[in-house]
Amino acid sequence: MEETIEVHGPTVVQGRLPVYGAKNSVLKLMAAALLAPGCSTITNVPEIQDVTVMAELLRRLGCDVHYDAAGRTVAIDVPEELGHQADYDLVRAMRASISVLGPLMARCRRAEVALPGGDAIGTRGLDMHRAGLEAMGATLSIERGFLRASAPGGLVGATYRLGYPSVGATENLMTAATTARGVTVLENVAREPEIVDIGRMLQAMGARIDGLGTTTLTITGVSALHPVTHRTVADRIVAGTWAFAAAVTGGTVEIAGAEPEHMAVVLDKLRAAGCEITTGQGVLTVRGPERPRAINVSTLPYPGFPTDLQPFVVALNAVAEGSGIITENVFEARWGFTAELERLGARVHLDGHHARVDGVPARTLSGAPVEAMDIRAGAALVIAGMAAEGTTEVSGVEHIDRGYEHFVENLSAAGVAVQRRVSAGRG
């Protein structure tokens, strides 16, 4: 027996949908709190499973963590003496756990972090994390499934250029450098709004960081940081999910709490698909067309089109007029869910890191049992099921719960015929 999401199509999303703090930020903000003894409080926290996992990881490191889901806050009381080992049972469940590596090196001068797991969307090695810390004077090795790092004399400032603007490596090296002796210059860093959010929290804690939002960060080490209260940036991926739901179903959504300035490329693509988009008074309104036009998209690091929204482009093109080409430049294994989409009748043709999707009228799609393989693919399958005739049953909903707060309840309140059920599964 397993829990599934059952959607009865065709169904249209109409109404107001909320956006809270970004999953891809809040987990790293929680890790950054390790840098300062005392109680830091993070607000605008989404009610998702990954926050619970990160809270437990911090507890095992010695912190007292109070997660108030209803109040959307996490209070993290960090001790003077921290533990330095992040265990496999938690790290394998959530790759963001690796973000404790930088803070632990800054505070403890050593860390043992299990090699991470997370979504099955491609390899995401730790080479840049490792090379950047080695440039700062750390010694690292992999032993018995753990990345072990130490710098008994403390980290020292260095200049390091990332081979790729990795979000995770940028976060770990930025946090590690906050208390390193001297000046650290990180080049070719990630520029995502979530990186800027973490940097602003670090600055409020007393870190000296220049260049947030650019390709180069200059970090002058300080002797100590202090706890703060910090509000999490809005989740642009959840906002994009709701926007694509409107585009695919021909509905209208008012997205409350989004920050459209972080979604410029996404909104341009939705306009190209035929959506009408307006902003004002803290609400982003997206009106989907009767039938969308196919769009071409290449995923790239920010400010390019985000890889996390790629599955929704595939779902849109599946019911669009014409054919669209999607190029995946970030995660090579993100196409796995397309086989599930084809079970609904989508026409997807894969060629390396490209996919051509030939659109068919939505009524041509028919509901079927499908399986979510990661957070975003699961949500995209639900949205595709909204457009299909009949019932689509999505298993693997634990992935969706990792990234979306009250996903089914929010869609149901916006008029979608969707519910959670206990199912015997596909086997």
User: What Rg value do the Cα atoms of the chain yield, rounded?
Assistant: 22
Position 166 scores a pLDDT of 93
Domain termination residue (choose one: 184, 203, 231)? 231
Q: Which two tokens stand for residue 136?
A: 């700062």
Examine the domain organization and report whether 33 and 96 are in the same domain.
yes
Domain termination residue (choose one: 197, 214, 231)? 231
Query: Does the annotation list 68 as a binding residue?
Result: no
Examine the domain organization and report whether 113 and 37 are in the same domain.
yes
**pLDDT tens digits along 1-60:** 789 999 999 999 999 999 999 999 999 999 999 999 999 999 999 999 899 999 999 999
pLDDT band per the 50, 70, 90 thresholds, residue 121: very low
Looking at 119, 197, 374, 401, which residue is catalytic? Answer: 119
Examine the domain organization and report whether 37 and 129 are in the same domain.
yes
Q: Is the dihedral of CA 118, 124, 130, 133 positive or negative?
A: negative
CATH value at residue 391: 3.65.10.10
Query: Does the annotation list 374 as a binding residue?
Result: no
Examine the domain organization and report whether 249 and 177 are in the same domain.
no
Examine the domain organization and report whether 118 and 260 are in the same domain.
no
Q: Which two tokens stand for residue 98?
A: 């690796």
Task: Give the residue ranges of DSSP H helices in 40-108.
Answer: 49-60, 88-91, 101-108
Examine the domain organization and report whether 297 and 417 are in the same domain.
yes
Task: Give the residue ranges of DSSP H helices in 273-324.
Answer: 310-318
Examine the domain organization and report whether 250 and 196 are in the same domain.
no
pLDDT band per the 50, 70, 90 thresholds, residue 119: very low
Find the helix or strand (DSSP H, E) in which 287 lies. strand 283-287
Q: Report CA-CA distances (Å) from 365 to 291, 319, 358.
A: 14, 8, 12
Examine the domain organization and report whether 257 and 219 are in the same domain.
no
Domain termination residue (choose one: 178, 208, 231)? 231
**pLDDT tens digits along 99-110:** 999 999 999 999
Query: Which of 262, 173, 154 is CA-nearest to residue 217?
Result: 173
Question: Measured between alpha carbons, how far is 32 from 170 in angstroms, rounded to an integer?
Answer: 13
Range of the domain at 287: 2-19+234-423
Query: Does the annotation list 87 as a binding residue?
Result: no
Whether 297 and 313 have beta carbons less than 8 Å apart is answered as: yes
Query: Does the annotation list 330 as a binding residue?
Result: yes
Position 424 scores a pLDDT of 62
Pairing of strands 390-395, 418-423: unpaired
Examine the domain organization and report whether 51 and 121 are in the same domain.
yes
pLDDT band per the 50, 70, 90 thresholds, residue 423: low
Tally the domains of the chain.
2
Residue with tokens 């490191």: 61
Examine the domain organization and report whether 225 and 238 are in the same domain.
no
* DSSP secondary structure code for residue 294 in this structure: P
Query: For 220, phi and psi rounded to 5 degrees?
Result: -95, 120
Query: Does the annotation list 360 as a binding residue?
Result: no
Beta carbons within 8 Å of 422's beta carbon, 6+ residues apart? 1, 2, 3, 4
Opening angle at CA 136, ends 135 and 140, nearest 5: 75
Query: Is the predicted pLDDT of residue 333 greater than 90, yes or no?
Result: no
Q: Is 119 a catalytic residue?
A: yes
Whether 340 and 371 have beta carbons less than 8 Å apart is answered as: yes
